[in-house]
A and B are shown apart, each in its own frame.
Chain A
Amino acid sequence: MTTIAPRATTAAVPAGRRRRNLDQWAAWGFLLPVTVYLAVFYAYPLFRNIDLSLRNYTVRSFVQGDAPFTGLANYGTVLGDPTFLPALVHTAVFTGASIAFQYTVGLALAVFFRQRFRLSATLRAMFLVPWLLPLIVSASTWSWMLNSDSGIVNTALGLVGLGPVNWLTSPQWSLVSVLIANIWIGIPFNLVILYSGLQTIPDSLYEAAALDGASAWQRFWRITFPLLRPVSAITLLLGLIYTLKVFDVIWIMTRGGPTDSSTTFATWSYRLGFGTLLPSFGPAAAVGNLLVVTALVFGLVYIRFQRKLEAS
């Protein structure tokens, strides 16, 4: 092989690099539609949200468009507000408990439905019905069921000898009530994705393990759970993001009350911006951005986790 003079600038590009460049172009070709889509449709609203949080908006200046730039003043107002700490705690509890229960129940149901029996496909589809209902309907139904005086839940409690609980009207129980409703609404999401993920695990693995004498629990813990890790990770992350944004259910059931006992960042943001007769858009956007930042932090954690999975 002749050596090529190092000074030669017209040296041929090594074949490997050319191949990789073509690969890159091809990959971005597949990604182009989504990238354009993201740029056009998400950039403007996100920019508007940041802009709203950096200015001092009154109703008048929102309409006329002449709000003064005030830097991080809105964030200061939000952090100093007495509602901030309760909202933070409630958001953490609401989100943590929601995804814990939704994931566990969804996984249990997915594993259960993986077995073949009569009606399994139909019943699995029926589990999605909660998702079909408009939120005003499901949240209202739960409100009616949990009504202190005429709700079926308190009637049932009475039949078993327990006293009535003020589910929606007492500060102690309001968060639990919206939590129950939210878990109910979120189980189908987890069920569908985890079930889909379970389908990618070949039956042959289970057969081999059964032949080796593994019990059902061992099969789950040694085969199902580890192989389900990438799908579980994305399910938990998406569950987290969507639960952080939940406000319809809480708003319709308790409006974040009484006395902020079921207020999360999402409901607080909505209340500041759209839930009063006198909107304060700046603080509302500031709370919304705090939510986005929280979610982004978990997003970074997820990407780290994904990298580790790929490396192994």
Chain B
Amino acid sequence: MTLALLARRWRTGVALLLTAIMLFPVYWMLTVSFTPEQDMRKSPPDLFPVHGTLDGYRAALTEQLPYLGTSVVIALGTVVLTVALSAPAGYALAKLRPRGAGVLNFVLLAAQMVPGIIMAMGFYAIYLDLGLLQSIPGLIVADSTIAVPFGVLIFAALMSTIPDELLQAARTDGASRLRTFWSIVLPMSRNGVVTVSVFAFLWAWSDFVFASTLDNGGAHEPITLGIYHYIGNNNQQWNAIMATAVVASIPATLLLIVAQRYVAAGVTAGAVKD
């Protein structure tokens, strides 16, 4: 075995170990999802659910799938809206030097500091007047407020690394700003698009505050509300809760693995002649 191959194998081993440590709580969640009610507080706890039960999964699979679908729709909608709003703004802040950019930067930072519950209360009032309560588009717009300021700042930071010469070259060739953005900047910002998309997806997926304030009782609820069906007023069914979380994580994890493959290496290498 060559030294390089050995090094690669060793790295994979270390990576597996690190991942295992990081994901141990997730393993624990899996364990709880198989634990029957009477063993929940066993002391000392079983590392492996020896007397496992499938009750939690039965409950999750028969009741939670519609909520899962709704969550996917909302999360994907949020991704599209967030990227559409924040990419052009990030480009402008990074490359076009508008006057008052400082103010906008400041406002974007301030916008992220408002606590979620305050935002939700404000949205409740607005949506009640507009009739958008308990609707999916309304929730998509609300969830995007978590991700858009972040998206603008990330796009600005990553797009600022695109060499000015490239854009200058396009301008002298006669391309309009819009054309430059669409044909050069956006493709080169693949990392940025994937990063912002991943975050927008995850934030919308795990959002609870907006869902609970704006969509409770609606025809289509996301999974974060669906889980609360197992938190009754006096009793909680923990194996069902954890089972729902496991079932919900699988499609999202698959999407993430696919998305990560698109983060390309060395985007600017060779693009500009030395």
Q: How far is A42 from B120 in the complex, measured between Cα atoms in Å? A: 11
Q: How far is the CA of A31 from the CA of B103 in the complex (A)?
A: 12
Binary contact readout A115-127 vs B (1 if CB under 8 angstroms, 0 otherwise) = 1111111111111
Chain B positions within 8 Å of A37 at CB level: 85, 148
Tell me whether B118 and A49 are in contact (CB under 8 A): yes
Given A30-B92, A144-B32, A196-B195, A126-B23 contact (CB < 8 Å): yes
Instruction: Report Cα–Cα, A300/B107, bound state, in Å.
Output: 11
Q: How would you classify the secondary structure of chain A's contact residues: helix, strand, loop or mixed?
A: helix
Q: A44-B122, A119-B16, A292-B110 are in contact. Are A274 and B208 (CB under 8 A)?
A: no
Q: Does B267 contact A (CB under 8 A)?
A: yes
CA–CA, A192 and B248, complex, Å: 21
Report the Cα distance A203→B270, complex, angstroms. 10
Residue of B nearest to A142 (CB): B25
A305 lies within 8 A of chain B by Cβ: no
**Hey, which chain A residues are within 8 Å of B194, CB to CB?**
196
Contacts of A49 in B (CB 8 A): 114-115, 118
Q: Chain A residues with Cβ under 8 A from B132's Cβ?
A: none
- In the complex, whether B42 has a CB less than 8 A from a CB of chain A is yes
Q: Judge whether A169 is part of the interface by a CB distance below 8 angstroms.
A: no
Q: Is the CB of B115 within 8 A of A38?
A: no
Decide if A152 touches B253 in the complex (CB within 8 Å). no
A193 at the interface (CB under 8 A from B): yes
The yes or no answer to B68 lying at the interface (CB within 8 A) is no
Known: A27-B92, A123-B16, A202-B266. A296 touches B28 (CB 8 A): no
Contact B249 A196 (CB under 8 A): no
Indicate which residue in B126, B181, B252 contacts A132 across the interface (CB closer than 8 Å).
Answer: B252
Q: Which of B15, B92, B148, B266 has the most CB of A within 10 A?
A: B15
Contact check, A138 vs B25: say whether CB atoms are below 8 A apart: yes
CB contact under 8 A between A187 and B22, given known A133-B245, A200-B161, A230-B157: yes
CA distance A44 to B120 in the complex (A): 11
Q: Beyond A24-B99, A134-B206, A137-B242, is A266–B261 a contact (Cβ under 8 Å)?
A: no
Residues of B within 8 A of A187 (CB): 22
In the complex, chain A residues whose CB is within 8 Å of the CB of B252: 132
Whether B227 sits at the interface, judged by CB under 8 Å, is: yes
Q: Which of B28, B105, B141, B257 contacts A152 (CB 8 A)?
A: B28
Closest CB in chain A relative to B178 CB, distance in Å: 9
One digit per residue, 1 when the CB lies within 8 angstroms of any chain B CB and 0 when it does not, for chain A 30-41 equals 110111011001
Q: Once the chains are docked, how many angstroms separate the CA of A152 from the CA of B25?
A: 10
CB neighbours of B161 from chain A (8 A): 200, 230
- Interface 9-residue window, one of A8-16, A170-178, A213-221, A234-242: A234-242
B26–A129 CB distance below 8 A = yes
* Nearest Cβ on chain B to A156's Cβ, whole angstroms: 10
The answer to whether B260 and A121 have CB atoms under 8 Å apart is yes
In this complex, how many residues of chain B approach chain A with their Cβ under 8 Å: the count is 103
Contact partners of B109 in chain A: CB under 8 A: 237, 241, 295-296, 299, 302
Interface string of B16-49 (1 = CB under 8 A from A): 1011001101101100100000000111110100
Decide: A296 and B192 in contact? CB cutoff 8 A.
no
Expressed in whole angstroms, the minimum distance between the Cβ of A226 and any Cβ of chain B is 13
Task: Give a binary string over B97-121; 1 marks a CB under 8 Å from any A CB, 0 the rest.
Answer: 1110010111111111111111101
Please pick, from B86, B116, B157, B253, the residue contacting A129 in the complex, using a CB distance under 8 A.
B253
Q: Which of A31, A115, A118, A248 contacts B89 (CB under 8 A)? A: A31
- B86 A296 Cβ-Cβ under 8 A: no
Residue A136 at the B interface, CB < 8 A?
yes
Query: Within the complex, what minimum Cβ distance (angstroms) separates B39 from chain A?
Result: 10
**In contact, B208 and A135 (Cβ under 8 angstroms):** yes
Contacts of A241 in B (CB 8 A): 109, 112-113
Q: 16 pairs across A/B with beta carbons < 8 Å? A: A26-B177, A30-B91, A30-B96, A31-B88, A31-B92, A37-B85, A44-B125, A46-B110, A125-B253, A137-B29, A140-B241, A149-B43, A150-B42, A199-B267, A202-B268, A292-B113
Q: Which A residues have a C-beta under 8 Å from some C-beta of B?
A: 23-24, 26-28, 30-31, 33-35, 37-38, 41-42, 44-46, 48-49, 109, 112-113, 115-138, 140-142, 144-145, 147, 149-152, 155, 158, 184, 187, 189, 192-193, 195-197, 199-200, 202-204, 230-231, 234, 237-238, 241-242, 244-245, 248, 266, 269-270, 273-274, 285, 288, 291-292, 295-296, 299-300, 302-303, 306
Among all A-B residue pairs, the 3 with the closest Cβ atoms? A45-B122, A27-B98, A27-B96
* Interface contacts beyond A45-B119, A195-B263, A196-B263: sample of 4 additional A-B pairs, CB < 8 Å, sorted by A: A117-B8, A134-B227, A196-B192, A270-B117
